[in-house]
Each structure stands twice: as structure tokens, then as C-alpha cells.
Structure 1
Amino acid sequence: MTDRLRIAFMGSPQIAVDVLAALVAAGHEIAGVYSQPPRPSGRGKKLTPTPVQAWAEAHGLKVRTPKSLKKAPEQEAFAALGLDAAVVVAYGLILPQAILDAPRLGCLNMHASILPRWRGAAPIQRAIMAGDHETGVDAMLMDAGLDTGPVLMSARTPITLATTAGTLHDRLAELAADLAPVALARWAEGAIAPQAQPEDGITYAHKLSADDQPVDWSKPAAEVDCQIRGLAPFPGAICHWTPDGEDTPVRLKLLMSEVAGPSGGAAPGTVLDDKLLVACGDGGAVRITTLQRPGKGPMTANVFLNGTPIAPGTRLTS
């Protein structure tokens, strides 16, 4: 490894924790950790620190949680750290140019996609929802654009028909933790040169919203399956089912599925058998294998149906 570097770490969610831990294990001096401010959480709305803040404080690291880095006092405090580099993983705040310019080697961002595909806020979910067969992690030098900087190193991993956003998140966290110390060391040594991103193939992973959740059963089965897996376990794809003899639809969160079929020409959203095979719009069908109803935990379809049968011919709506 190169000489010990003085770095700041900037991150907030769980995916960033593994990278911070790897940098500590590599022997670098963590001059400061930056994370988003604690937010109300749970029934009591108690202020809860981010996973990065909680881990950093538990390991004796100094943490700052500014709401913004745009004002001069925060920028001056950052510059006063005398950094060799900053490592950024899903921090969630815009870094002004003064922050980007402060470290001697710049700011290294670990981004959860192979750029320029899926720049932006939700690359893990969007990759699965789009039916991509591969993704990965890029070690990228940050500039003023949105994930537009040159790339130092990459690590790739396949997306299979069993991949969910949750399992892919965990895999990318492992890749990022392995990649960050190596990329940082090689960059500091001058052993690698940053490569500009290609001009073609640019896509944007827009932030998830409630509009992404409802299942449109008229879409092809493969698209429905990708939506379900891409939103699992959070926030979850949703549909509604009205039990026999009731007027109020029940909201179901769909957490795992597989493409099956054919639908036999049934209308989209029609339950085709007693094991939650649901017709889609292309003559295909999707089998729901894991789901959740309000007030309950996730359960397999078999367990769910044992207590709450859904008869063939039932129509599920968005």
C-alpha cells in the first residue's frame, strides 16, 4: 500500500459503512467523517443518526453533520483538515467546488454503477428495473457535474433473475469496500490514470418515488418481474386485492417473483392458479413468491395463501 493518507470520509447509508471500515482497516488516517444530519425515525420520531455516523462514532471517529456545505465556514473547516483526499459514498449532499478542490488528490466517489450508465440517485434499483444484466462500482474522481467525472477503476457483477435491490446492494457494498482502498492507493502513487466517461450510453437513475411502486399488469411479464425485484425490499412494488365479500381493497407489497406462464389469454392482473400466478400484458405471467400485507412481515406465497387464499380468477389491480 502507498503511504498512509489523511482523508475525510463522506457518506450516509449502510452501503457506505463497509467502505469506511475498509479505509480504516487499510491504515489511513480518517481526519473527519461527514454524514447527513440525524432525522426523525420510528413511532416516537426520535432523531436517529445515519448508519455511517453511528459506526464512525462507535469507532471513535469525529463526525460532522452539516445541512449544507455551501457556506464559507463549513468550507473553511473542511479545507483546514489538510486532506490528501476525500472518499465519498452516497453522501447525499452536493459538494461545492471549494470542497472538491480542497484535498490534494481530489474527491474520490464510489458510485454504484458502471458509468455513464445510471448517473444519479438510485442506480441499484434502476439497473434491475431496466432489465440490465450487469452493473458494478466505479471509483470516480468528482467534478462539478452529476457523476460526470473521470473513472479510475471499476469492479463488475452480474444481475441475475434472482437479484433484488437488497441482494445487489449488499454485493456492491462488498465490491466498493474492496475497490476503494486499492483505487485510492494507486491514484496516490500515480499508478493509474483517470479515464473520461464515454459520451454515449448516458442514463439517469432518478430518485425513486411513490409513482414507481404500483404494478401495471398490462406490461410484459419480464418488466413486471424486474420492477418487483428492483424495488425489493424497499420501498416495494405494490398492488391491491379485494377479498371475497369485502369492499375495501387490501394493499399488497410484492417482494419477489419469477416469470412464468403463459397466461392463456387472461386479462392482465388475473390470478391464474392457486399459487399466485398472475397474468401480464404480453401473454406471459409472473408468479409472486414473496409478499407482505399491512401490519405483517414478509412471507412466502405458500405461507400467505395458507392463511389467506386468493382464488383463481381474482383480479389484482395497481
Structure 2
Amino acid sequence: MAVRDGQQWLSQAIDSILTQTFSDFELLVIDDGSIDQTPEILAGYRARDQRLIVLTQAREGLVCALNRGLNAARGTLIARLDADDIALPDRLLAQTRFFRRHPDVVLLGAWAQVIDEQGQPKPKRLRPPIDRAKLARALAKQNPFIHSTVMFRTAAARDLGGYRRAFEAAEDYDLWLRLADKGEFAILPEVQIQYRQHDKNITKTKALRQLFSARLARMSREGRRTQGADPASALTAPPEWSRQSEGAFCDEWSRIYRLLELADPAIGREANPSSIDLRAISGQLSDLMPGERKFAQQALVNLLRNRVRPPGQSRWLLLALLFRLHPTRALRLLWRS
């Protein structure tokens, strides 16, 4: 469990683990430089239950925290839980039993019930497919594993080098793709987690970074399969789509993301729209994933609002691209604007 300034829901998350029906575990909590009451909360739990082990670091980020926990773990299996989620009482028991029965499985997820900030259930349940073929197809396109539901084999994750910082905001998806190439993966068809949705979950900027990193994770996997080498192996930090680096495997999609970031009006006001070559990237728009399409359409609407447009960004071209991506949503966005 990684946490930074998580005092609001941290106790609920910890309690849900310490009261599990399966008791043979250690709970590693990595405090990523919290400045609220998180350290005091952790110290209190540690004094009462020696199964809780606190590791600290100076705001080095989530990926570093997760790898610190991975390296320190003494168990053969690692279960993830975010500091704002809640594990149901039989979660650890059910998943450890599954691993004992399926020695070829290296990665296991489960279903989740969505809750609000007060812990009240929402109508939505997150149910990734349990059929192996359907799950594999889903994994090839997006991340079907809810991070807080995941349990994986410690040795397998360590052999792969753990989480990679270059895939920030989608570091979990990158690891799942690599684990899936190493062994079997599955979904336990039971709700084992209460997944909390709240305003602090994700910002527009983080959402775009998540989409970009997920895109790179899929490209990285394709490179491993077709070329026998990982094109992202040399990356030590998240690549910036605003920069052009000749020959980098992400350059083509960086060009697209320079358009997508204009979905944020604040960025659009500061950006130079003449750097967006719509005709050059129009052929790639059909390859966008649903989340990317939403950003692209909002970016095109924001460009339409500009009274002065650079050459090559005619109103008719912008409208044509907007409707090509999703006609119904295009009408809705234009109506609101």
C-alpha cells in the first residue's frame, strides 16, 4: 500500500486488511513523504499490530514507492490495495487459494464495487471479463485489471524489474502486460474490493498522461513480440510528447498528443496552434482509443473557438475531423460551445 497525505481514508484501508480472514501476511505501507496525519496514523497501527511495516521515502513518487514495497516484501505473493480503497474480508483468502490451485497463474484480479467518498455503494460494479480469450483481448486494448484487486507472484514481478517509471500513470498496465507475457493471468469472478471514486482520483492532465503511457505500454509490448526487444528499455523517465526526439519510438504518437492536450483550455490558451499539423495526423485519428477520441474532439472544438487559425486549420477541416471521430458526441460538444 502506497500513500501520500492519505489521512482521510487510510484507516479504513488498513482496517480492511488487518481484519482479513486470512491472517498470515505482512502489510507493507510505503509513506511517500506525507505531511498530514498519515505518519501518526501509521505509527498508531504499528504499535498495535506488528504485521504492519512502515517504509518511508521523501516524495519520490508512486512508482518508487511500489518498487520499494516490491523489493522489501518477504511473501511469495503480493496483493495491492490503494490507501483509499477497502478490501472485503475474504479477499486474501480467496486469492491465495486461487494461486495454490493454479500454479501457472502469475497475475490475478477480481471484481470491485464502486463506492463514493462516504463509502456508500454506487450502482456501478467493475467486472472485467473472466473468459480467458475475452480477457486477453481486453488486455491488448486497455487495462482490465483494477489495481487494488490485483495479486501477483513476487518472483515474477521482480524478474521483470518491477514497475517502470517511464510509464507513469499507467505503470500498473505496463507491468500487467509484461507479466501476461511471462505466465497465465485471470480474474476471480467475485467482488473483493470496494473501489472509491472521488474528485482526487484523477485530473485531466493525469488522465491524458495515463492514456499516453498506456499507449506506449501497448507499443512496447508489440515491439517485444515483433522485434524481440523492448523499445522502451532505455527510457528512465516518462517521455514528454511536447518534445520531439528524432528516432524515438513514441514520436509519432507524441505528435497526436500535442493535439489532444489542447482539450484543456488553459493549455490551449498558451499553446501555439500552428504547431499542430492536422492534415499530417488526420490519418492516425482512426486508431485512437475511446478515451483518446474524447480528448481529440474537445481539442478540435477548442480550436474551432479560435477566431484566428493558422493555415491548414480551416473550419471545415476541423469540423470534418470532429464528426469523423464520433458524430453524436460532436453535435453535443458543438451545442454546448
TM-score, normalisation: structure 1: 0.32
Q: Which has the higher helix share?
A: 2
TM-score, normalisation: structure 2: 0.31
